[in-house]
Copies of this chain bind each other. A is one copy, B any other.
């Protein structure tokens, strides 16, 4: 295994530059860290380069790997406890065709990366086929999205696209008068469940097109649930 000892090495600088969205988009690459994520990435993704300060088991794949020190790991990692492994992955490609998407989670301008990552993890847990993200939803490869998704980005197609490109019944959760309590809402097999922006909710345009408007019944002392919590409750119903 080759060794890199300086954090000013060009390979390290190039890897660190992937912390910026602009570079990720230019190079079609992103950074991940941790042993469990590496397992997932080796199984389901395309790992390009590995930097490690610990001993790794046999990979079973021929991947460019560098032995580095903890200082370099700290420079590349997002967390304070990166477990001695940081690696570069190729940007993800959809695994299914659009026509094979039955259960879609559509995210309408989700801002918070933790929410995005958690919703991807939940959608994968409930066997959704895709997470479609509107323009203006935060970057899939943001380090906080990656951390919150716990490796689930490899298990479900995550695509930036417009809801207009999908012809399916739309479900939204709103607090209007003409909404049905979630517990009484009919299950569907083919649908788009929409989760709106943390502050502004679902766009008016999408609400107009919705075929099911449901509400999660709750105390009137609270304005709303956290977006990822609402998404979890809705996906547990529509699964």
Contacts and interface: CB of A to CB of B under 8 A. Distances in A.
A1 B233 CA distance: 47
Interface in A164-193: 182
A122 B155 contact: no
Contacts of A223: 150
A221 B155 contact: yes
B229 A216 contact: no
Interface in A132-156: 148, 150, 152, 155
A114 B147 CA distance: 14
Interface residues of A, number: 29
Contact of A122 (B122, B127, B217, B229): B229
B222 A236 contact: no
A126 to B, nearest CB: 6
Contact of A225 (B218, B230, B232): B232
